[in-house]
Chain A
Amino acid sequence: QVQLVEFGGGVVHPGGSLRLSCAASGFTFSSYGMHWVRQAPGKGLEWVAFIWFDGSNKYYADSVKGRFSISRDNHNNTLNLQMNSLRAEDTAVYFCAQPDSNNWRQLNYWGQGTLVTVSS
């Protein structure tokens, strides 16, 4: 069965950097594009970024464009999110999600998330 486990969250100062990872198992990781979605405390869901199955194309939300970078390691079945110039409003639980094989914008499976807190 599909398993997605995020790690790397923690507390960081404004302007700092953090790298999140998501370990994937139970499916052919290299055949799927992958998403990051975040949820601020007590708030709704916000899509963050998407990367094609082979890493050739990447899409970002305007709120993170130029600061965050999504990448993947298909040999190690790992999805990454490099977050730079962090702001207080980036505080959230970050989920990685696997989309449907035919509909990349439909999120079929989600990890449990990792909490990022940006605070001085």
Chain B
Amino acid sequence: NAGVTQTPKFRVLKTGQSMTLLCAQDMNHEYMYWYRQDPGMGLRLIHYSVGEGTTAKGEVPDGYNVSRLKKQNFLLGLESAAPSQTSVYFCASSRGARGANVLTFGAGSRLTVL
């Protein structure tokens, strides 16, 4: 049981380039999330999804887009990368909301934008 898998693990981009981070979960979870982690900032929610075909904005959505075409996959896209998007990105999934909202995290994707 792989849990939550993120690809790629590392990526270096030049300013203005685009890329997509892929998150896959095999636990049949309804909810999926993308966070970014920056030193001293904790984790901040970028976008989330409460089910296949749905997405919603989180705390810091600007510059990112997401899609949830299949229940098991949640894609995070950067349309035109900026140095401010240098960060570690974590995908997470959960079975449900509130008290059932125990998150299972991926191992992270480290993105550097030059």
Q: Do A and B come from one complex?
A: no
